[in-house]
Amino acid sequence: MTRFHFTSQRRLRIFLTLSFIVMLTSAAIAFRQLVTAQVAPTVETDPVHSSGDSADDMCVWIHPTDPTSSTIIGTDKNGGMSVYDLTGHEIQFISADHPNNVDIRYNFPLDGAAVALVGFSNTSDKSLGFYKVDPATRMLVNVEARQIKTGKSVYGYCLYQSPVSGKFYCFVTDNANGELQQWEIFDNGSGLVDATKIRTIQVGSHSEGLVADEVHKYLYVSQEDVAIWKYGAEPGDGSARTQVDAVTNGRLEDDIEGLTIYYASNGTGYLIASSQGSKDYVIYQREGNNPYVMTFAIVTGNGIDGTTETDGIDVMNFPLGTAFPFGVFLAQDGTNENGNQNFKLVAWQAIANAASPALTIDTTWDPRQNRREQL
């Protein structure tokens, strides 16, 4: 057996080196905590039905006449899709699919009407799934024309309506190698949703978070261990991209997960990312080269626990009644203290006012209106 003998001097050098490393690490953590704003949730949803890592992504449906009757549509990737009211109580659960990411767009032309279309990546059969919202019941109704297979292990997902053509598209990433697909979606002539793949891009590695900017015509992609990328969202834009931020810059810690956009007037607003490794959220300007704005964390408050290791996020600038008169930010919680994972809701003004200077609060952008009409 080999024995190692260290002199007193060498032991001292090792001790000092280790102490210095610990000191630097502690200083880095303390600095991040110092510059990270803290906000508390005011509402949390009922836990998802499945245990373990199950809650993932969500979107908000705005009621056509009564914003207080709006809903949250959340995925249980091991069990199904839930619909919650704004108090967080579940009002519908669909157990047929394994949805990973979900998104919503209004005014989708279907069977002679303009509907709120909910699309999602279905890991059960590697397909694209579609529901519409019945405004009378607030429930989801399946509107899939067929089993739309992607040929890949689906993962990240978002919807996009082109401000150029008015056509609707969805983007989906592959869980295995980060391939990005763009599909055009349309009424098949029988009042059901069908799709055709029109573009494929190689992101480079594991990628999930997706969000499309329907004014600036950009698609943002989070390559989880690497960076946030900005692509053109139009079908002919090819694979050219620019980097918004990277894990090497100190603001993001892998995995980079959910992405969402806060829409404000005149093309302004914010791009927000979930920095899962650091358990917080990073905000960038929506316009220009997306310069960094601030970082915030959701901590325990109002009788609700904070969030950790968040996957999906969403943000809504539109007023949703007295509970959220200036909009809301939503985040999946990786470790819910009261059971299975769930989703936390934070009033947007709490985040906006935690910044210095304060962030924009702009309730004029209405997602239910035609994007092209608001340009």
Residue ranges per domain, the chain?
11-374
pTM: 0.90
CA distance 207 to 229: 10
The string of pLDDT tens digits covering residues 209-254 is: 999 999 999 999 999 999 999 999 999 999 999 999 999 988 999 9
Position 12 scores a pLDDT of 59
Whole-number CA gyration radius for the chain = 22
**pLDDT for residue 6 is more than 80:** no
Position 109 scores a pLDDT of 98
**pLDDT for residue 21 is more than 50:** no
Place of tokens 């980060």: 178
Using pLDDT thresholds of 50, 70 and 90, give the confidence band for residue 374.
low
| CATH top-level class of 11-374 | mainly beta
- Average of per-residue pLDDT across 72-89: 97
Which one, of 242, 264, 130, 234, lies nearest residue 186 by Cα?
130
> Are residues 84 and 76 in contact, defined by beta-carbon separation less than 8 angstroms?
no
**pLDDT for residue 349 is more than 50:** yes
CA distance 128 to 50: 22
Q: In this prediction, what percent of the chain has a pLDDT beyond 70?
A: 89
Show Cβ contacts of residue 313 under 8 Å, excluding neighbours closer than 6 positions: 257, 258, 259, 260, 272, 273, 274, 281, 329, 330, 331, 332
More confident residue, 37 or 35: 37
